[in-house]
Every structure is written in structure tokens, then in C-alpha cells.
Structure 1
């Protein structure tokens, strides 16, 4: 399957991203939209991934620039864990272990299909630091995060949320899933 947008989708997505970029300058001080757009214009596959983030409710936005690689970094910046990515377990192995009431998918598989990565704990905490006071992410939902192999090997997986003025890191069985838990991703362009 070729991961490419139609010209109409391409234009609509760029317009949405530009509007969000301009509305949320606090997330990307010192980054010039024209340079971001120039990178996006020549990378159809990355645009396709951003569109997948957008369509699933992620509201992607630029949050950083990696000077070493010359890449702009987009995170899902929706107020709550993306609606189109909830009620999923952690990964394929966890999905296969469920005998009854299997969710439709897993966070790791969905991220791979979209061409994005799950946030790490450090990246999740960074995302929370970008919000203005009182506007934190995941105040009603939670998000799976990239789980260290040692924890995953023992059957667990990690997730985070924001409650009581703090970011909390929790663990759960990787096969668990809840209507209020999804995942946030990142994409480097």
C-alpha cells in the first residue's frame, strides 16, 4: 500500500497543521513554520503518517527540533489520549494472549501501521511541560508509553496520565485495555 495523500488531503492537512502551529506558539518557540512546511512538502510518507495521527484524533503539532539530525519532531497534542486509539492493549503479544474480549488492536501495532513511535516516559513528561498552567494533557484519560524490555518481558506495560498537578507513571498487565486509555505518538520529519 502506497502511503500517499491526494492533493486535496495534502492541502487540507498542511492548512490544519499551520493553523495549530500558529495557535500554539508556546510549544515550539524559535521554530519557523515555513521551514517545517518545506520539509513536509518533500516527504509524502511523513505527511501520510501525520494525517493518520490527525484522523485518529491526535492533533499533531511540532514540539521540538533536533539540531543533530535536522528533524522536526511532532507529538500528539490532543487534550486527551487520541479518541481513535483507545480501548487497545499494549502490543501484539498481549493481544494474542487474550482469550476473551479481545480489543481490536494494540498500541505498538497501531503506531507501526501509522509510521509513528510511542512516546517514552521522558517524552511524555516533556509534552506535559509544554502546556500552559491548567491546560495539561490526559486529565481524564491515560496513554500507554514505550515500555522497557525488562518490564515487558515480565508481562507488564507502562502508561501515564496527569492528575493532582503531577504526571503519574503506572504499570498494568500488557493485555489490559480500558475505554479511557490510548497512546500518544511522535513523528520525526
Structure 2
């Protein structure tokens, strides 16, 4: 499933989302020390198309928040900061190929297809580890991460979680899916 038609939020939806994002930003300053919401909001208002993707992150229970600012690119990075893998993105296999290869009990979607449709990027293993430095996520769930092509070509896919004070990276068949596994995404604005 690819995103074919870009959806737009109404003015009211934009205002509501900005208020939610602002509240989360102010409540979690440890994720973005030294950054100012007014500058983030100005960037979002200048790139209103990104608000649709942030709203998709929000409605699937990702709780997006700013986690990084790149001075050279003048870009803010939002990431799913829900305590556990986003509820609205669980029980999915890794990608379309895995979904189509599954003969019985197919999940409704795949992580790669959902991320593409939402206009966001799945986290890499490095991004996942960096996110865990801000606070600990996925203590009860796990999240698919971008998988190297050599692993994927052999039928596997990678996922991560946080247990015993450590980030673990595991593998599974790409066609597997579990009620406690989803994926986290990021969006740069």
C-alpha cells in the first residue's frame, strides 16, 4: 500500500494537532533540551504537508515528539515516543513481499507499507539505539527496524526492544507478526 493521494488536514485539525504536539514538547524537554517550540511550530506551519504525516503518527498512538535538531540542514526530527510500540501499528509483518508470501493467517498490513503510506521512515537500528538514550521504550513490546538487504534477501528481518537495561536486536522471518510488535517511525521537518 503506497500513499497515492496526499491528504490534507483542515485548519481545525492542524490547530488541534499543533496543540497536542506543543503540550508533549513542553512536558518532555529532556528529549530536546535547548530547543524552542515557537521555532518548531514555525517550521511546521511552513511545511504543512508534514502535519498530515505527524497526524498519522498521532492517530496510530505513536505520540510523536521532537528528538533532534540538525543545524546544518535546519531540520527538526520527530520520532514516535510512545512508551511501547505504537498500538495502531502492531500485528504487522515486515514488508509487502513477506505479506504476499504468507499463505495462511495473513496480517492486515506490513510495517514498510504502513510507513510509506504515512510518509514516514522506519527507524534504523542506530536510530533506535539513539532513541533509547533519551529514555527507555519498548519494555514490553518490540519494534521492526530497517533491515539490511542481505538479511532480507535470506527471508529475515530485524526488530529491537529494551530489556534488562539493554537494547536487544533480534531477527525473525519477515513474514512473522505478533500482537506486541509494531514499528517506530521518524519524520524530518
Tell me which interval the TM-score lies in, with the shorter structure as reference length.
over 0.9
Q: Does 1:153 align with 2:157?
A: no
Aligned to 1:121: 125
Contact 1:116 1:187 in 2 (8 A): yes
| CA-CA distance at 1:44 after TM superposition | 1.8
Q: Distance in 2 between matches of 1:148 and 1:86?
A: 21
Q: Distance in 1 between matches of 2:73 and 2:7?
A: 23
Structure 1's consecutive aligned runs of 4 or more residues displaced over 6 angstroms after TM superposition are none
Contact 1:88 1:178 in 2 (8 A): yes
Q: Distance in 2 between matches of 1:90 and 1:68?
A: 33
Aligned to 1:95: 99
Q: Distance in 2 between matches of 1:44 and 1:38?
A: 10
Aligned to 1:64: 68
Q: Distance in 2 between matches of 1:42 and 1:125?
A: 30
Aligned to 1:167: 167
Q: Distance in 2 between matches of 1:163 and 1:84?
A: 22
Structure 2: state its 5+ residue gaps: none
Q: Does 1:79 align with 2:83?
A: yes
Q: TM-score, normalised by structure 1?
A: 0.96
Q: Distance in 1 between matches of 2:49 and 2:177?
A: 30
Q: Superposition RMSD on alpha carbons, in Å?
A: 0.7
Aligned to 1:182: 182
Write the deviation string for residues 93-118 of structure 1: whole angstroms up to 9, x where unpaired: 00000011000000000000000000
Q: TM-score, normalised by structure 2?
A: 0.96
User: What is the SS of the residue equivalent to 1:41?
Assistant: helix
